[in-house]
Structure 1
Amino acid sequence: MKYFIGLICLFAPAYAQTHHDYQIAFPNAVHHEAEVSATFKGLEDKVLELRMSRTSPGRYAIHEFAKNVYNVKATDENGQVLSVTRPNPYQWNVSGHHGTVKLSYTLFANRGDGTYSQVDETHAHLNIPATFMYPPQYPNRPIRVHVKVRDDLNWKVATQLKDLGNNTYLAPDLDYFMDSPTEISNFQIREFIETSNGKPYTIRFALHHTGTEAELDTYMESVKKIVRQEKAVYGELPDYDFGQYTFLACYLGHVSGDGMEHRNSTVLTSTRSLEAGGLKGNAGTISHEFFHCWNVERIRPKSLQPFDYTEANMSGELWFAEGFTQYYTSLILCRAGLITPQEYVEGLAGSLNYVWNSPAHKYFTPIEMSYQAPFVDAATSLDPVNRENTFISYYTYGSVLGLALDLSLRKLDKGLSLDGFMQAVWLAYGRGEVPYTVRDLELALSSYAGENFAQDFFGSYIFKSQMPDYQKLLADFGVNLNKANPKTASLGAYLVIRDGAALVASNPIEGGAAYLAGLAQGDRILSLGYKPVGNDTDTQKLLAEFKVGETVEVIFERFGKKQKSAVTFQSDPSYSTTLKTEVPAKAQKMQQEWLGGK
């Protein structure tokens, strides 16, 4: 979302403008209900349209928030009941008013993550699009919201909205309001000052958990290291509105794990407490989401500008916006000293295996994988899909392309790196908030590293689905990429022991042994070669009985009928990544510049 800091000028005369007033209260929090009321004045249209959003900033799929709204009532300024009609599932039309409408409704909310809202007696965790109706005819009017906190539960409010005092908060317009998640609870708060370009910024961390103050103090040291290493990538912090950035963290057993970036804040939810591994395990989400305050919030694809609250938001740039951010997620943890270089390098194997070994390259490029976001980004459907063979997450796909670009730039021996390229993109598009396209990224890389380099990279790996030579790239940085288990037999299908058989629990990988044998998801394997399958069968030990290239009979049941086929085992396609113990001085220097802290 694009907001110039000049919008702050709106706040001085905001009270003189026509604005919308909301109030939210939680008298029935025990049953996950919030009571919302609003007053809309100075209405110019005879019919006031009120909608619940179908999307949420940071998400790309449809989410039908209207399903959790009921008990809708509307009156005029004199308390006279107004007519409310439903032209579609997401909208309420209010007619018969004289310029003022007073609205009230009940919201049910019981999912705590970055997309939905959750209300109970521990907190009111609010994602604004999932909580508040809005009038689409008036997108530019300021919005005030008053929060009636539960004093009996010691609640207080954390949000990126402008604090007006007395638990009342202000947004300059609808977009800013929708992009401002809010945590209302008895949270703990820490903050520190980080200076950029001579200007101090307050970095706040509001943590709702059941842990101790000492645990938060320890955790904050990791937060500071992450913030400073990411600032070093871009050379500066964004010019945060109101001079502050807020982490909104809920580490509780009844939330759903998630992270969601916003302009001057981010939502962090995890079931993992700081005491139970969260001190290290939750740091990756902090690294990923904070990086987004540059990449995607301000370095923003033109395809997501403006954000549409009525339809799915599709972008072909998510391999960069999400994927390159994902590349930096663990790299920053390494540079910050929160994981070792060995841990970082060994962790690369999972992403490389997933992308490199996928048959989906033949169907979609990284751009086209990005187009799939409305179908996979927390989207729901009932019919089966063939994602195992046709989809590679743009997060992971983009992350390994980021790795390839970073190492390729460093190998040019011109002092170039992905850090330098991200700075160049930031200066060209992010700092001034100029929306970009894929071609803009190619031109930026051309300016940074040369036209031939940029054309080769984009022509091979972005506009087409070729794979970089990761073995050679990594070797120059002292990293081995080798087959992990070349002598281990692979079936190319995920098996689960159930009811005395090995159930093929997912679509077999296209071209794999099970796929070529004609096995399909839902088949129940009764015997493999000379080995019967039973409830006590260990699938890994079962496959270990066979050799690569060996052909055996498989007996399976499909639709209640026994069938036979022949399966020829293939070699396990997975690779491992390891740091070499001894490397030449040049490779050691390149490795340190890549993985070392700034």
Structure 2
Amino acid sequence: MKLWIAFLFIGLSLQAQTNSYTISFDNAVHHEAVVKATFPEVKSKTLRVQMSRSSPGRYAIHEFAKNVYGFKATNGAGEALEIKRDDPYSWIITNTDGTINIEYILFANRGGGTYSQVDLTHAHLNMPATFMYAGALQERPIEIIFNAREDLSWKVATQLKHEVGNTFSAPNLYYFMDSPTEISDYQEREFQVDGQTVKFVLHDPNPDSDFDTYWERVKAIVLQEKAVFGELPTYDFGEYTFLACYAPNVSGDGMEHRNSTILTDTETLAEGGLEWNIGTVSHEFFHSWNVERIRPADLEPFQFDQANMSNSLWFAEGFTSYYTNLILERAGVISAEDYVKGLNGTFNYVWNSPALQYFNPIEMSNQAPFVDAATSVDPVNRENMFISYYSYGSVLGLALDLSLREKDLNLDDFMQLMWKRFGKTEVAYTVENIEATLADYAGAEFAQDFFGKYIYKSNMPDYKNLFEQVGLQLNRATAKPYFGASFSETSNGLEISRNTFKGSPAYQADLDKGDLITSIDGIAMTSNDAFKELLSNKNIDDVLQVTFERFGEEHKTKVRLTADPTFTIAIDNNAKKEAVKAREAWLAKK
């Protein structure tokens, strides 16, 4: 983010060399936009313009150039210029009079945090997926005109600086690329917090959406997250904008940016979104501190032409994930009981994963370029070698918070210290900086122990004791038998739908993804219900006779059932008063 800060408040009138863009949507019905750009006063003999291959907030490669066609380049007199290509992402243009104009068509039909979408309902723009750039001119200010469809009552919402009408500006390329834009017939709400404006732009086609109820929840989240850090960030131009698009034609996503966030989901507020979309609001707004300003050093500067790897996503994304539902509870959006119940899925996913033997949280973070909306056609073994850094960091954030509370400290105050040292100052941090800050806050021995066991290694904290201190119970369903496979129903049997977990009974019996189980103990497996009924009548250590098909041939194997490894986290109704008091302090509205 630092690339643009020094230029932010330099007026465009003082900059002779301003790159300008326009974008139009006449053929929106077929998902096309026409983009034009002018690069004046180019001194070099050639100018390379290119499409990004990655996008702020994403870590994987995304080949945005694949949706560009009809490319043209002219000089200041309108004469066609020579164009050469030396890679799939760039166009090298011969300079003749110092002015280079380009024009191209963009196909865009995925509304979310990474791509762009143009149709008759809106123009939903993620800038790296939409606009070519000239890397050699990246420090120049940018001006853009959005030719919004007046016949569709479109308006423009963005964190870009508003100039006049539908003209907006950015101090340089990075700020421009970090500024998603929603152009539609949206609704809007706003409120003032300590002299700054927090806006919520809602594009929702359902006329019965209960925007006011949703907005009250959003405001409560904003105030509770502000309470964690003690203050709001200083937003550029004094505004923060939620850009929400809840419509059946988009893809579910959330993507943080410096002064705004993209929120998309197929559920409108009236069709479930009022309850189910609010978690993304909590997660993404927390990022305006943690990620956008408390910034990992290995993401600076962000590279648009390559994948971006970080050691710190367990903290940047994972601790943010820990706070996501905790903030919902503190804001009164969900109950304490629902919050505790919600811990179960993530907790079991992490601590029952075979991947713990391969990578620690830092190394899981390094996997982001392969998993963060990345695509591949070859099968992968994520079930056995990867744990999401969102989830891993979330359960570690929980462990750190409860561990600190045993010392009459808490994670909120630690996050405030990280904010003061690295967020307000915008000095990017390393993993070592996090450990050093924890040492200053909670003591060197505490920090060294936590990082040594749980960050640099993959050990499991003593959650049973930690939960007891806040009146929760941690148990395992040791009396239930466990098979260790997921199934899809077919007309011929149950097909194993995922890689079997290493060490599970199914894995030990050499069953694999794609195997078709036709019978167990002579009973035809026609449905998941049939399997569940069979398993309910079995005991731990029972041996099942399994008949299955693989590559069209019938095989048999034996599966010895083990104890179900699932953990259960619940409120202890018989907890001591001290523990109940500690739980109330942990979950209390701030």
Name the TM-score class by shorter chain.
Answer: over 0.9
Tell me what 1:456 maps to.
449
Partner amino acid, structure 1, of 2:136: Q
Paired residue secondary structure (2:402): helix
Tell me what 1:80 maps to.
79
Whether 2:191 is the aligned partner of 1:192: answer: yes
> 1:14–1:142: 8 Å Cα contact kept in structure 2?
no
Whether 2:21 is the aligned partner of 1:22: answer: yes
Match among 424, 427, 430 for residue 423 of structure 2 = 430
> 1:554–1:565: 8 Å Cα contact kept in structure 2?
yes
Paired residue secondary structure (1:313): coil
Measured after TM superposition, the shift of residue 490 of structure 1 is 1.3
Tell me what 2:277 maps to.
282
Tell me what 2:157 maps to.
158
Whether 2:578 is the aligned partner of 1:586: answer: yes
Tell me what 1:232 maps to.
227
Unaligned runs of 5+ in 2: none
> 2:4–2:172: 8 Å Cα contact kept in structure 1?
no
Partner amino acid, structure 1, of 2:197: T
Measured after TM superposition, the shift of residue 588 of structure 1 is 1.7
Whether 2:283 is the aligned partner of 1:291: answer: no
Match among 500, 513, 520 for residue 521 of structure 1 = 513
Once superposed, which parts of structure 1, at least 4 consecutive aligned residues long, lie more than 6 Å away?
none
Q: Which moved more, 1:156-165 or 1:214-223?
A: 214-223
> 2:34–2:104: 8 Å Cα contact kept in structure 1?
yes
Distance 2:373 2:64 in 1: 13
Paired residue secondary structure (2:9): helix
C-alpha change, 1:353 and 1:85, in structure 2 (3 Å) is same
Show CA shifts across 1:476-526 (max 9, x none).
10011112x332221111112213211111111100000111111111112
Measured after TM superposition, the shift of residue 14 of structure 1 is 3.7
> 2:261–2:285: 8 Å Cα contact kept in structure 1?
yes
Tell me what 1:132 maps to.
131
Paired residue secondary structure (1:36): strand
Show CA shifts across 1:75-133 (max 9, x none).
10101110112110000011142210111000000000000000000000000000000
Partner amino acid, structure 2, of 1:35: V
Tell me what 1:178 maps to.
177
Measured after TM superposition, the shift of residue 541 of structure 1 is 2.1
Whether 2:569 is the aligned partner of 1:570: answer: no
Match among 542, 547, 556 for residue 550 of structure 1 = 542
Whether 2:236 is the aligned partner of 1:241: answer: yes
> 2:143–2:169: 8 Å Cα contact kept in structure 1?
yes
Show CA shifts across 1:156-187 (max 9, x none).
00000000012000000000000000000000
Paired residue secondary structure (1:515): helix
Tell me what 1:375 maps to.
370
Match among 210, 220, 227 for residue 215 of structure 1 = 210
Partner amino acid, structure 2, of 1:87: D
Paired residue secondary structure (2:322): helix
Whether 2:374 is the aligned partner of 1:396: answer: no
Structure 1 length as normaliser, TM-score?
0.97
C-alpha change, 1:536 and 1:114, in structure 2 (3 Å) is closer
Distance 2:396 2:441 in 1: 17
C-alpha change, 1:166 and 1:15, in structure 2 (3 Å) is farther
> 1:524–1:558: 8 Å Cα contact kept in structure 2?
yes
Measured after TM superposition, the shift of residue 143 of structure 1 is 0.4
Paired residue secondary structure (1:554): strand
Tell me what 1:272 maps to.
267
Show CA shifts across 1:45-66 (max 9, x none).
1111000000000000000000
Show CA shifts across 1:252-306 (max 9, x none).
0110000000000000001111112212211100000000000000000000000
Tell me what 1:418 maps to.
411
Paired residue secondary structure (1:9): coil
Distance 2:168 2:93 in 1: 26
Measured after TM superposition, the shift of residue 5 of structure 1 is 5.8
Tell me what 2:59 maps to.
60
Unaligned runs of 5+ in 1: none
Measured after TM superposition, the shift of residue 4 of structure 1 is 7.0
Tell me what 1:506 maps to.
498
Paired residue secondary structure (2:102): strand
> 1:76–1:82: 8 Å Cα contact kept in structure 2?
yes
Distance 1:2 1:581 in 2: 50
Distance 1:369 1:536 in 2: 33
Q: How many residues align?
A: 590
RMSD of aligned C-alpha atoms? Answer: 1.3
Distance 1:67 1:419 in 2: 44
Distance 2:304 2:13 in 1: 24
Match among 455, 458, 465 for residue 472 of structure 1 = 465
Measured after TM superposition, the shift of residue 6 of structure 1 is 5.6
Partner amino acid, structure 2, of 1:463: Y
Whether 2:237 is the aligned partner of 1:252: answer: no
Measured after TM superposition, the shift of residue 213 of structure 1 is 7.8
Tell me what 1:114 maps to.
113
Distance 1:153 1:536 in 2: 48
> 2:187–2:201: 8 Å Cα contact kept in structure 1?
yes
> 1:497–1:537: 8 Å Cα contact kept in structure 2?
no
> 1:65–1:130: 8 Å Cα contact kept in structure 2?
yes
Paired residue secondary structure (1:576): strand
